[in-house]
Chains A and B, each alone.
Chain A
């Protein structure tokens, strides 16, 4: 059972466009993480957010943790082909849960 729902499931955009991926749950998490996974590899951690309302920026990526610590968003500005991959949110409570995933394709 996956408690974290991501939307959209698939996203195909042109290079230079902006996009937002959402991660939603009815459960409260003590922390939430975002990972990026490329084919044939394991997920790679991008960021961890722990405080409700927290915003973190990583170059063109902006991550926000919801005030109630139940949801999060990932915004990418001026997407590039190198951003292509499977984006996963993951939440920590008494266990570790991954989201359903968002497959992003950035077309040159």
Chain B
């Protein structure tokens, strides 16, 4: 497909479980962003990759959150020991121009029970 894809689209986890969210960016896009979005609010920046290098992870809310992009393409956001406050939509975006034009995936809605 031509766009950004994310999987799974929906994830329900029990508190304390680990989850992994996948992002497939647009082919050739060097920049990749992860955001967390609460219902009705604007997305909040989590982390940014340029190719395989994680250049900014200042938005990750705790050390339970970890992101990787080992080959500069697909990225995984991992959340360890999930808590109820982690419930949100997690958006991935890719860009060919360092972020001035970002293309978003549909998001993964995470619900922690």
Assembly CA distance A4 to B100 (angstroms): 16
A86 within 8 A of B: yes
Which B residues fall within an 8 A CB radius of A?
Answer: 4, 33, 35, 40-45, 48, 56, 58, 91, 93, 99-107
Q: How many A-B residue pairs have CB under 8 A?
A: 55
Query: Closest residue to A98 on the B side, CB-wise?
Result: B42
Q: Which residues of B contact A99 (CB under 8 A)?
A: 42
Classify the interface of chain A: helix, strand, loop or mixed: strand
A43, B104: Cβ atoms closer than 8 Å: yes
Q: Which residues of B contact A86 (CB under 8 A)?
A: 40
A43, B43: Cβ atoms closer than 8 Å: yes
B40, A92: Cβ atoms closer than 8 Å: no
A95, B56: Cβ atoms closer than 8 Å: yes
> Taking A44-B104, A45-B102 as contacts, is the C-beta distance between A96 and B40 under 8 angstroms?
no
